[in-house]
Structure 1
């Protein structure tokens, strides 16, 4: 059986590689003269499928691959993890918003920039040789060249738009096949979005400058020609994009999150005006990403229609909340997974991501998250739950409705391949590591599945922030070593054990009966269903497009004796209607599937045996092994050097979740360590593989 899985995985990987290679070749050679002479007409006839089918086929195969990956043996996953770790290790630290860049990221970014440069050069050189004059404007040679320069810059933003939606797919995240999770790939969306706005702005400024020189700016910008590009739609798309970009700036997003969230939904308007401006043939270039995002969005809406209520809520001394929700027994998730939460009584529209702090191996019927109060939404939720706890009545918990999307996380999380594990967290960055510690605790006793050494370096501002550890203090293992740093307070004469015990006594908790909870969290759709729904959605789109074209255009062409071009808006409308039909059919199929599953589960709910742990070992063993420092920040470079000289294992896993300065310190050390290994491998005992977990979205 294991050999069968391995062969299937090889076939899937080879198929995905060939499809991606073929797509890259088409995008590259379509700009050459020989392609335009021999294949341009064929490209026009097959424009609906030639640029979309490969991407959607790769997505479907990727979901099947991820499904099978979780079933393969640990040794196979370990070999894949070693290769991925070498590609994702940092190679440089940029002192700007880009941050830390890995080998794979730098390579792909370089290739993409080369592709954009090649695209621009080919298009501009071809336009300069043809020099076809504009019918509506009498332009001299330099004005005509300038116009072509501006138009071809717009085609670059079109190429970027192909990738814009892929990094922000959640349930249908295709980047997971490369080991990149949703929370990490969001920054690719930011990079591409910034590039699109820059190119679109240059495109608009240059074109409008030429119109202004000819004193026909207003006339050209409001023109809505029946055939060809619609200028007013392009201006509206640019305006919409600028609004989205401005409200996405960190200074605005952090202070006015609801404004950022609501204006981001203008992407629908942006795509609509792009379709009208560029035409349906150019829309098919970016169609695959739009379809995947539309289906992903609808699947998330279907999952989040149901609500639940917390079965327990705790308030920590540092104004953090611990919420425990009831979940379906078969809902599994890996450590560092996240869920998106909406509390309608606080805000009807806002969704916020939080790391899961529990382990599905520890308890198969509950799921926990930690929420730190530091913004308008989290403060509102804190005040609400604080008032409920003050009343002392658990009945009020049932009145708090919570909608959940997810969980979203890696198909496999290979921390267990390391014999030594170093967890470095700052502030709220401890949340994803709590799930790792819980998972380790659930496997305690089987040391073949656990790291032998686990060290936690945790940096907080105040002592109260250490209460985030109090929720797992009964589960601290003998092979766990903690180094705690409190940066803004002086040292009291107490031990780490005493501080954690005192903080745990200050936690206020209220719990309700599980039977009174308003429903358990339902499982999201499986990977095989997502593979099927991706293929079906594209098939429905093509069928709808063919039927609409036959019914309307074919009949009209029969009755018309003169040959004339159909208005551009007809093709745009057909594409939009077909996309809507395809996405709606997928949503309906998912709703029916979930309804059938709910009925069958109501008749017989499967149960898995939970891993039980006695709380008799609540005291931390070997307290002298745990250190706490006050009034100083950790020197991570020195600490990691000490770990290096005290470790004999070849591979050491470092997981970091904290602010940018913390990530940069760890990345700089790992870069220096790798350079030293290349110079003299005999003196370097271990190799550090660093994994960064997103601190915030």
Structure 2
């Protein structure tokens, strides 16, 4: 029965998505515009939906309905581990195709999706512009000749491309209420952020072209200042458009990599100007165009509300550990029912350092091993992390008057609903520097599978490159596991490369790990009011919130329209001022989000989680239990000084050992390392070995920084 329900939900989601795509494809055509005018006249004449209600149902409801169905489908998915299976067609299309590009490594799926989207933008621009040019006649009202009207039309239609991009802009950065990245395609949140960046760059480009083209016509007429400061009662409000453009420029400039990496706080604060941009976009384009992008705006607002509800509670950090490489391990209490996939991230705020700054970090623990706690690794690399390092150092000083406690607020975890590593019989994990952190959770998750070879790999090779030998202390959280890998879990091999040092000690990997693992955790004081990390809202609650907000917006908008906007003919000279329709959209949005927030708070208060106190300890429960009845299998450990990993040789050894096999290759680290691994995977898959001996490398990139 449940399988039939899931199949029905998948079919419904696919059908709704197809309808939404077809609407956008037909939208610029003459057929659609003529049919749409007829539909609007019908909606006005019926006296129920009116024009505004029709716009909401056609342009907003498809995405909102997909969201509700996706949350229900995710709730109904099987909870048991996925049995190993052959690689799907989607996995084959995830292999890297373009590597050395300005926007990073591109897979076949990404390249195909980008090409289709560019074709759609070209089609939209051509169809709209061709239709405009056919009916271009000199305007006495605007005082423009035919050439100026054509230039003006070309500029206006660049704005339609910005609108199309804006409809997708916020969907990739949904966290708790993620759609396509988590529940449909299993894309990691950090990876989906780059789709947001691509779309944002497109909006910036098309908005600049839109503004520059139109302003060039005004400049030619010597009326630039007069036009740009006008606030018309109906139609396009140029002053609002100018303010939206300036706001967008500030957001875009603060998002450039040099600014984002060195001044993250500035980037974070200026990004909240999206509220100003969306408001003036509504005032400039009007409610009719805003409906096309409203679904993403509403889902983003609901996502923000649920995130605030979760992060409003704080918790006391159980213990801290400062590693030799100036990395900090924080251990926090969590409820046993909180589950997360390997490579998940969590956003952390330390109020004693900053009440505004949230920073994402990879979770290094496994919810299958440690059911009452989670751990994150924080490398000291910026002002915020340096402040945290100094605070913890002051706590560790004997006799210090500093408070022996640390309060933190958490948001998340965020990650894929499932993780692909279970599909492969063999894994090749390649990490550089702090890129090892996602693999710490993967290895612990493998060890938690209780020797079930149907749901975990039987051969794992970990290649870890660091600059200094002290950086190997990043392996400390799983040193107990690496030193005593249970033989029943299969074969594990570690290759370490220290690139900027020469071998002076002559120690093996196991000796280095054993020495660095002696660092003890500092147990912190617990506040009596301290709670475990709050769980994110459940999937059914998200579906209910999204459904309620959608209906509340439609009902409130239709009711307000009946009260404040009287019926009028399309050709009537006395049209209702645009700001009235725009204000009704804002009021309906506030009503919808208020209803959703009230429902979320009520259901959250009704869901009483039994507080399970986590007992502070120096070692994790898994480290205490899994070290029994195992033997050291580190006869093949390998450490290399003064050189980088030769990936071609490593792959050749895998080819000789495994023959024809499918290997999951996961890489996390600097861009140069990711490009190198992607190049080797692409070259290996393109080589024509015999059918029985070909090694298939399936490339997966893991990003751990935004």
TM class by shorter chain equals over 0.9
Task: Report the Cα distance in structure 1 between the residues aligned to 2:399 and 2:76, rounded to whole angstroms.
Answer: 48
Report Cα offsets for 1:141-169 as digits up to 9, x if no partner: 21111111111111111111000000000
SS at match of 1:166: coil
Matches within 5 A, 1:202-213: 202-213=209-220
| Secondary structure class of the residue paired with 1:669 | helix
Aligned mates of 2:527, 2:267 — CA distance in 1: 38
Paired with 2:206 and 2:64, the residues of 1 have a C-alpha distance of 26
- TM-score with structure 2 length normalisation? 0.92
The number of equivalent residue pairs is 679
Q: Report how far residue 601 of structure 1 moved.
A: 3.0
Q: Which has the higher helix share?
A: 1
* Pair 1:621-2:621 in alignment: no
Residue number among 547, 566, 570 corresponding to 2:576 in the alignment: 566
Change over 3 Å in CA distance of 1:381–1:419 after alignment to 2: same
The answer to whether the 8 Å contact 1:78/1:414 transfers is no
Query: Does 2:600 correspond to 1:590?
Result: yes
Distance 2:644 2:427 in 1: 21
Cα distance in structure 2, aligned partners of 1:311 and 1:649: 47
Contact 1:327 1:367 in 2 (8 A): yes
Larger CA deviation: 177-186 vs 233-242: 177-186
Distance 1:620 1:236, change over 3 A: farther
Contact 1:418 1:653 in 2 (8 A): yes
Deviations 1:175-204 (A, max 9, x none): 211121211100000000001001100111
- The question of 1:74 aligning with 2:87 is answered no
Deviation per CA, 1:37-83: give whole Å up to 9, x if none. Answer: 333331583222201111111111122222223436624x846x633
The structural deviation recorded for 1:550 is 2.3
- Distance in 2 between residues matched to 1:292 and 1:345, nearest whole Å: 31
1:88 and 1:103 in contact (8 A); partners too: yes
2:332 and 2:533 in contact (8 A); partners too? yes
Among 442, 445, 449, the residue aligned to 2:448: 442
Equivalent residue, structure 1, for 2:48: none
SS for the counterpart of 1:274 is helix
In the alignment, is the contact (CA less than 8 A) between 2:343 and 2:363 conserved in 1? yes
Equivalence for 1:181: 188
Query: Judging changes above 3 Å, is the alpha-carbon distance between structure 1 residues 687 and 8 closer, same or farther for their aligned structure 2 residues?
Result: farther
SS in structure 1 of the partner of residue 330 of structure 2: strand
Q: Check conservation: 2:660, 2:691, Cα contact below 8 A.
A: no
Candidates 196, 208, 213, aligned match of 2:203: 196
Output the CA distance in 1 between the equivalents of 2:332 and 2:318.
6
Alignment check: 8 A CA contact 2:174 2:303 kept: yes
1:478-497 maps to which residues of 2 (within 5 A)?
Answer: 478=487, 479-492=491-504, 493-497=506-510
**Contact 1:647 1:685 (C-alpha < 8 Å) held by counterparts:** no
Residue 69 (structure 2) pairs with residue 57 (structure 1): no
Q: Quote the residue 2:409 is aligned against.
A: 403
CA 1:591–1:397: 2 relative to 1, 3 Å: farther
| Structure 1 residue corresponding to 2:89, chosen from 76, 83, 103 | 83
Distance, in Å, in 2 between the alignment partners of 1:590 and 1:82 is: 38
1:139: which partner in 2? 144
Alpha-carbon deviation of 1:33? 2.1
Matches within 5 A, 1:150-549: 150-175=155-180, 176=182, 177-391=184-398, 396-398=403-405, 400-476=406-482, 477=485, 478=487, 479-492=491-504, 493-505=506-518, 507-512=519-524, 518-549=530-561
- State the distance in 1 between where 2:426 and 2:527 align: 42
Q: Distance in 2 between matches of 1:338 and 1:629?
A: 31
SS in 2 for 1:624: coil
Query: Which 5+ residue runs of structure 2 have no aligned equivalent?
Result: 42-50
Preserved CA contact (<8 Å) 1:659 1:695 = no
Q: What CA distance in whole angstroms lies between the structure 1 residues aligned with 2:237 and 2:247?
A: 16
| C-alpha RMSD of matched pairs (Å) | 2.4
8 Å CA contact 1:361–1:610 kept in 2: the answer is no
> What is the rounded CA distance, in whole Å, between the counterparts of 1:223 and 1:401 in structure 2?
51
Q: 2:123 maps to what in 1?
A: 118
Q: Deviations over 1:278-331 (max 9, x none)?
A: 000100000000000010011101100000110100000000000000011111
Asked if 1 retains the 8 angstrom alpha-carbon contact of 2:186 and 2:419, the reply is: no
CA change 1:617–1:631 in 2 (3 A) is farther
1-structure distance, mates of 2:271, 2:298: 18
1:395 shift after superposition: 8.7
| TM-score (normalizing by structure 1) | 0.93
CA distance 1:229–1:382, change in 2 (3 Å): same
